[in-house]
Amino acid sequence: MLAAERRNLILEKLQDEKRVVVNELSEQFGVSEETIRRDLDRLDKEGLATKTYGGAVLAENNNTDMPFNVRKKKNMQGKRIIADIIQELISDGDHIIVDPSTTAVSIVKALKGKKRLTVVTNSIEVLVELSDASGWDVIATGGTLRENYLALVGPKAVESINSFNVDKVILSCKGIDMEKGITDANEMFSQVKKAMLHSASQKILAVDSTKFEKIAFSQICEVSGIDMVVTDVRPSDAWMEYFKDKGIVCLYGEEN
């Protein structure tokens, strides 16, 4: 097993259990405790875990994003609920932009019954998922591949996105807050998402319930910069009133 693969599995365990123990990981992966300590050192330096005596705990930092392969296994039910709602909003022949989120992968899977869609994306995972989509136009933005994220970013990605005019953009975020707006952990991702919003007639935020009241490093836009929020669980009464005041439609799958 490659070291990177082992670290991702350790991160998955941290996501599930919030803490790990060195000797247990050593037995699980069949490597020395010193090897596990080096893995935890690396995760600590990357801001993904915090070392403790004999192990590590999950780093609860909204400005640090987990690798894509770890994030895609988080709140899978919520992502399916969001995808089911959004597929009802997309019509045959629509031109859409989707971001490089794990939620976007669930959404494009749900859209495969649609016809003649044009999808613009900077997500490698979405491109792979749609490689067998018959009758669709799937357009990659180009750009620089960001390590661990399976996403294309940078000036070339922004330039490409700015050249399109689409019906709908579907994007996600790390946090949504009434005062600080819609935020992401990384400025390069925020710049790409700003371009996506600028290129779309209808702006849809696909965000699971865990992102409410969270603030990440880089602002994408004010909450008023979107037209619709799609989430898995009904937001609080305060949020529902806020959306109403801003003229934002909120669709959700479950009551609290």
Residues 132-150: pLDDT tens digits?
Answer: 999 999 999 999 998 778 8
What pLDDT, on a 0 to 100 scale, did the predictor assign at position 66?
Answer: 58
pLDDT averages per 10-residue partition of the chain, 256 residues:
82 82 91 91 84 85 56 71 96 97 93 97 95 96 87 96 98 96 93 97 96 94 98 96 98 80
3-state helix, strand, coil in the chain (%, to 5): 40, 25, 30
Q: Which CATH class is domain 70-254?
A: alpha beta
Which helix (H) or strand (E) element contains residue 7?
helix 3-17
Q: 3-60 sits in which CATH class?
A: mainly alpha
C-alpha 84/C-alpha 106 separation (Å) is 9
- Residue 50 is predicted with a pLDDT of 86
pLDDT of residue 212: 96
Q: Between the CA of residue 140 and those of 40, 137, 157, 161, 247, what are the distances in Å?
A: 35, 10, 9, 9, 32
Q: Which of 176, 183, 180 is nearest to 239 (CA)?
A: 176
Evaluate whether 3-60 and 70-254 have a shared fold.
Answer: no
Can you give the pLDDT at residue 166? 98
- Amino acid residing at 241: E
Give the pLDDT confidence score for residue 18 in this predicted structure.
81
Q: CB-hemisphere CA count at 13 Å for 129? A: 22
Sorted by where each begins, the domain ranges of the chain are 3-60, 70-254
